[in-house]
């Protein structure tokens, strides 16, 4: 494979150093409370939270008698947000993927959570209820709100059903705000949303490069498409995903023939499992694909750099991709 595909670690380190040294280019990671430490808002209970309507749904209310002490987070991003708010010690159930170093940003803390699940869609309500959580947090991404959300409500378990998936900055910050209200971590949630909104801003001089975004999932390369958060990061970096040109609207497998048809200007590789470039090699070394100029303009990033669960790490990821696209455009 081309040596240009090895640029990611060096470029990421350089951009991270630049951001840390700069006062104005991006917000620093949001401050978090000490694990388990009570926040000022924790005493502000009981409280009632107004949860905006999900698409096609209605507004709802969540009544909480006290600050939750045993929390089940059924999606990756919610678990990461709760840990970022300094409340990891209150978690009793999280998706196991948050302990994956390619994805998670709080590996040590979340590895201490006593119970994990493979994915929310494989979970049943009885598993959650057996842990007697005083708060369940879930998003609509995997359909868990349909399969177990109503059961939890009927059982009287306080459940924050986030109205939106984590598909763009606005939805991410809205979900963080709701989680902050539900957990009593209001102040830390405000700091986190401010860091994200100030750091995840559009490139000043967008390149307009046509980029194929691939991730390594289910043992093979997938094209990233639809309302995936990495594509919003690409948009902010000044790139354009070729998935729409191909008529692909959901993330899934892609063939060499489709890549040749797209003829992208560059290829962004997202490592979701820590295997690096290995699962991309066969596809990118296909002779027809390798002959494309864009196949020699690749960047490998970790999943946490571009996925919503990376939170403030995505600010560094955004700047890395922006610099990469600018460099590739200048080299043409």
Residue 175 CA to residue 177 CA, distance in Å, equals 5
CATH architecture for the domain at 3-27+202-331: 3-Layer(aba) Sandwich (3.40)
- Phi, psi for residue 211 in degrees, rounded to 5: -120, 135
Q: Kindly list the domain boundaries of the chain, sorted by start residue.
A: 3-27+202-331, 40-184
Record the tokens describing residue 29, joined without a space: 């990671």
DSSP letter for 246, please: T
Q: How far is CA 308 from the centre of its chain?
A: 2
Per DSSP, the residues of 51-118 read EPPPTTS--EEEEESS--SSEEE-SHHHHHHHHHTT-GGGEEEEEGGGG-TTT-S-HHHHHT-S-EES
Rounded alpha-carbon distances, angstroms, from residue 179 to 109, 137, 138, 176, 249? 18, 8, 10, 5, 29
40-184 — its CATH code? 3.40.50.1980
CA distance 46 to 60: 17
In this structure, the strands spanning 60-64 and 47-51 are antiparallel
Residue 54 has what pLDDT?
86
User: CB–CB of 28/139 below 8 Å?
Assistant: no
pLDDT of residue 215: 98
Taking the C-alpha atoms of residue 289 and residue 285, their distance in angstroms, rounded to an integer, is 7
- CA distance linking residue 203 with residue 187, whole number of Å: 29
Residue 72 pairs in a beta bridge with: 93, 136
What is the spatial distance between Cα 115 and Cα 48, in angstroms, rounded to a whole number?
28
- The answer to whether 284 and 278 have CB atoms below 8 angstroms apart is no
Other Cβ atoms within 10 Å of 47 Cβ, number = 16
Beta bridge partners, 114, equal: none
* Bridge partners, residue 61, by sequence: 50
Q: Between helices 186-199 and 76-84, what is the axis angle to 10°?
A: 110
Q: How would you write the pLDDT of the chain (332 residues) with one tens digit per residue?
A: 444 444 454 444 544 444 444 434 444 444 444 444 444 455 689 999 999 998 888 899 999 999 999 999 999 999 999 999 999 999 999 999 999 999 999 999 999 999 998 865 567 889 999 999 999 999 987 666 667 888 998 899 999 999 999 999 999 999 999 999 999 999 999 999 999 999 999 999 999 999 999 999 889 999 999 999 999 999 999 999 999 999 999 999 999 999 999 999 999 999 999 999 999 999 999 999 999 999 999 999 999 999 999 999 999 999 999 999 998 776 66
């Amino acid at each position: 494979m081309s040596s240009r595909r090895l640029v990611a670690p060096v470029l990421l380190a350089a951009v991270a150093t630049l951001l840390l040294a700069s006062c104005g280019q991006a917000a620093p990671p949001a401050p978090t409370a000490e694990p388990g430490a009570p926040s000022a808002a924790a005493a502000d209970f009981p409280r009632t939270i107004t949860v905006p309507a999900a698409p096609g749904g209605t507004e709802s209310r969540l009544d909480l008698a006290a600050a939750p002490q045993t929390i089940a987070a059924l999606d990756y991003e919610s678990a990461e947000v709760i840990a970022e708010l300094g409340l990891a010690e209150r978690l009793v159930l999280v998706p196991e993927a948050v302990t994956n170093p390619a994805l998670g940003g709080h590996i040590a803390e979340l590895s201490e959570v006593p119970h994990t699940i493979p994915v929310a869609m494989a979970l049943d309500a009885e598993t959650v209820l057996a842990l007697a959580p005083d708060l369940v947090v879930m998003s609509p991404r995997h359909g868990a709100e349909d399969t177990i959300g109503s059961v939890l409500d009927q059982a009287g378990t306080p459940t924050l059903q986030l109205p939106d998936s984590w598909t763009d900055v606005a939805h991410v910050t809205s979900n963080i705000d709701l989680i902050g209200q539900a957990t009593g971590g209001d102040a830390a949630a405000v700091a986190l949303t401010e860091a994200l909104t100030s750091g995840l801003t559009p490139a000043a001089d967008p390149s307009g490069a046509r980029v194929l975004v691939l991730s390594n999932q289910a043992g093979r390369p997938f094209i990233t498409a639809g309302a995936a958060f990495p594509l919003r990061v690409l948009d902010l970096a000044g790139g354009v995903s070729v998935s729409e040109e191909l008529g692909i609207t959901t993330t899934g497998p892609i063939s060499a023939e489709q890549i040749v048809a797209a003829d992208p200007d560059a290829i962004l590789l997202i490592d979701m499992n820590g295997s690096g470039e290995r699962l991309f090699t066969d596809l990118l070394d296909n002779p027809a694909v390798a002959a494309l100029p864009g196949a020699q303009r690749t960047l490998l990033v970790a999943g946490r750099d571009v996925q919503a669960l990376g939170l403030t790490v995505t600010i560094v990821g955004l700047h890395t991709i922006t610099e990469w696209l600018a460099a590739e455009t200048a080299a043409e």
